[in-house]
């Protein structure tokens, strides 16, 4: 199991269980992903507690998660890449991409005019 898969699975399990928090193994990828999720309002925040990252999930209505499903797009056996033109054609901003400028949300990548590997999509 690769690092992104472990992170996505831990976040998805916390949402399905209705937990307000998730615990993740720390890594550079995890910090970058959580930074993007926080900037976009998908999580409230995160901090390092001992040897784990504690993630505080954002809520919509009381008791309802801000997102209900995390879908992994690129996988080790099949990568998905979008050019900036393909990205502009997508209406929603709930995509996370790995670009030459680091991990970015679709909204931020559009603003910077870059494309990249599509990592995941959060479904509200």
Domains and CATH numbers, the chain: 3-123 (3.30.1490.10)
Q: Centre a 10 Å sphere on the Cβ of residue 86 and count the other Cβ atoms it contains.
A: 11
pLDDT at 57 over 70: yes
pLDDT at 93 over 80: no
Segment among 30-34, 61-65, 102-106, 107-111 with least mean pLDDT: 61-65
pLDDT of residue 2: 81
Q: DSSP string covering 60-100, please? A: SSTT-BS-SEEEE--BTTB--EE-HHHHHH-----EEEEET
Six-digit token string for 42: 């998908």
CA distances from 110 to 45, 72, 86, 106, 115 (A): 24, 20, 10, 6, 8
pLDDT at 1 over 70: no
pTM, to two decimals: 0.90
Going by pLDDT thresholds of 50, 70 and 90, the confidence category of residue 64 is confident
């Amino acid at each position: 199991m690769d690092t992104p898969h472990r992170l996505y699975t831990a976040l998805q399990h916390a949402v399905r269980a209705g937990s307000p928090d998730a615990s993740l193994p720390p890594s550079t990828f995890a910090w970058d992903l959580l930074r993007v999720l926080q900037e976009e309002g998908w999580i409230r925040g995160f901090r390092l507690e001992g040897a784990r990252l504690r993630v505080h999930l954002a809520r919509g209505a009381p008791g309802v998660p801000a997102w209900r499903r995390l879908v992994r797009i690129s996988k080790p056996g099949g990568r998905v890449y979008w050019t900036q033109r393909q990205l502009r054609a997508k209406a929603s901003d709930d995509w996370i991409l790995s670009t030459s400028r680091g991990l970015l949300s679709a909204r931020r990548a559009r603003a910077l005019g870059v494309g990249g590997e599509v990592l995941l999509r959060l479904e509200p």
